[in-house]
Structure 1
């Protein structure tokens, strides 16, 4: 598995591994495309709430004979672990997770290729979100941002704001293996002149310097809540959720536009191998990739659409990661390599950063 650079400095996942024959499963299979029950596993919390309202509910109105159950996971690593645990008897049909984790799932045959005839909307997916071998493509585009409380003045314009001594004990960073922490490490590594494909030592050194300012590396319930309440002043987060919570909090939480590089985050939607209801699952996946569904989710939560035919309002699009103001400086990242280094980097964080 490898990543191919694309125009604009972004990346698309290239999969060299082709799934083999399906293993045996004791789960009964329903192959009807317009009826049955499917289980979708994805992010819990506000993502789940908004996804149900803006995507699942309209889908079930269009396909009333297909029942959709959504099971929330705290993060992609937890999602993949649960799918692996059920490989001999899959209980999930569709899984939504970040591209670095889904790449691991594709390679290890947790997922299976989609049938282009059953998921025709795949052909309209932005090249940055296409996955070779017809594996699950990008459902959403997003980017890493700096969140700040309304009390912070002036508004931060650099990641460096988190290192300011006045914010000692007021900064939140979700630690590796969360890709928010990994992303910040890669950004700082690049700023210091490092090449993460060879070493992340310079990024680790920067985060060790940040440690005295960090209130928590494991925010509960999440970074957005801590910043909104004023418990934290600054935090690393995702643009889509940040924009949503900025509205919900009436400006108590704000999203900074940093004058530096950020990372581009992709969530993919995947068909679980030996899915109990593969036909209905692909009907659902095709719907989520449709212009109408993509527009609905963008308007509701500011994830950038991946279908090139989707036309959300200019107002909503400007608040997504596809706004030129947010995507001009994108750090090129081979998420396959990030996935391969996940455990190594996690141990490095524990020794060098979290112990600081």
Structure 2
């Protein structure tokens, strides 16, 4: 007997191997230039996309690293002589670059795995496609009950017990949006957020700046909840850890998508570029991302390991509760949020 998990993994691997075998002859000796994040994200991409792709196709992949803002700046600066063929960046980069006319639309007919990607991850009319998603949610000390709502952060039970993101992090902007929503507002109407954030001040244990120390505080129960991205705490959460992650909040949780784009006018072979994106969308690669960096899959056929499942969004029911904030609009609101945030918490 073969389990469903083993069968799906074996079938996906065989299909991938067959596809790459057919492509290898035409891609042997060719070069693709790509840009993506460094750190643990970059290591996962190297392991599950770059290395197997080069081995299977014979192509050379030249990697440059940079966060999303750096990638946007680089593609923009090189618009008259593009040096990057494929860029991986947060969804805001798709919208920012496409508004400048710097992207080519992805030909989904050349990306077989795209047919299994949840439609919500086909971005900006097909100029970007998501290959992982990560969440901003509430982590908690598991010796107590998990929060059921964002509104619980204001509960007397959490007075002086909340770890809050620093305003330099996107998570603080998203918490502000949630504060506005809980007060009847929205991203477009942030006014209700300010009294809610003022009321949050007595709840705060500290602002998140050093995850190693913050994990110790959360583990010890000095703080009992934290608003953050779970993967940042991953290095400090062993099997016996008392730190848990909730993916069952009444209002949902914020999701950001890591996406692939084709840079307009780049010099690399377009079939090679599409094949590289196809590898990013493969169930094998996305299962690896879930395990190694706790980023959820966008391909519906991905089988997430039992060890990663509690920390990533991966089921249709979970994805239905993901809050996708318009990223360009959030960036535009950032100065207003930062100004009011600093007045509330530091004046």
- Provide the TM-score with structure 1 as the length reference: 0.73
Q: Is the 8 A contact 2:137 2:245 kept in 1?
A: yes
Q: 2:72 aligns with which of 74, 80, 94?
A: 80
RMSD over aligned CA atoms reads: 3.3
Asked whether 1:53 is paired with 2:47, we answer: yes
CA distance, structure 1, for counterparts of residue 197 and residue 81 of structure 2 = 42
CA distance, structure 2, for counterparts of residue 136 and residue 209 of structure 1 = 39
Matched residue, 2:267? 276
Q: 1:99 aligns with which of 67, 91, 109?
A: 91
Q: Deviations over 1:44-96 (max 9, x none)?
A: 322122222233222222233323414132xx334323322332333322222
Q: Note the 1:337-352 alignment, pairs <5 A.
A: 338-343=327-332, 345-352=333-340
Matched residue, 2:138? 146
Deviation at 1:111, TM superposition (A): 2.1
Asked whether 1:230 is paired with 2:217, we answer: yes
CA distance, structure 1, for counterparts of residue 205 and residue 71 of structure 2 = 27
Asked whether 1:71 is paired with 2:53, we answer: no
Deviation at 1:321, TM superposition (A): 0.9
CA distance, structure 1, for counterparts of residue 214 and residue 240 of structure 2 = 13
CA distance, structure 1, for counterparts of residue 107 and residue 93 of structure 2 = 21
Asked whether 1:260 is paired with 2:250, we answer: yes
Q: Is the 8 A contact 2:173 2:337 kept in 1?
A: no
CA gap of 1:250–1:92, structure 2 versus 1, over 3 A, is farther
Q: Is the 8 A contact 2:215 2:233 kept in 1?
A: no
Structure 1: gaps spanning 5 or more residues? 1-31
CA distance, structure 1, for counterparts of residue 302 and residue 145 of structure 2 = 36
- Provide the TM-score with structure 2 as the length reference: 0.74
CA gap of 1:138–1:276, structure 2 versus 1, over 3 A, is same
Q: Note the 1:260-339 alignment, pairs <5 A.
A: 260-261=250-251, 262-279=253-270, 280-313=272-305, 316-317=308-309, 319-323=311-315, 326-327=318-319, 329-331=321-323, 333=324, 335=326, 338-339=327-328
CA distance, structure 1, for counterparts of residue 136 and residue 276 of structure 2 = 28
Q: Note the 1:190-201 alignment, pairs <5 A.
A: 190-197=181-188, 199-201=189-191
CA distance, structure 1, for counterparts of residue 70 and residue 113 of structure 2 = 28
CA gap of 1:146–1:277, structure 2 versus 1, over 3 A, is same
Deviation at 1:37, TM superposition (A): 3.5
Choose 1 or 2 for highest CA Rg: 2
Q: Is the 8 A contact 1:144 1:180 kept in 2?
A: yes
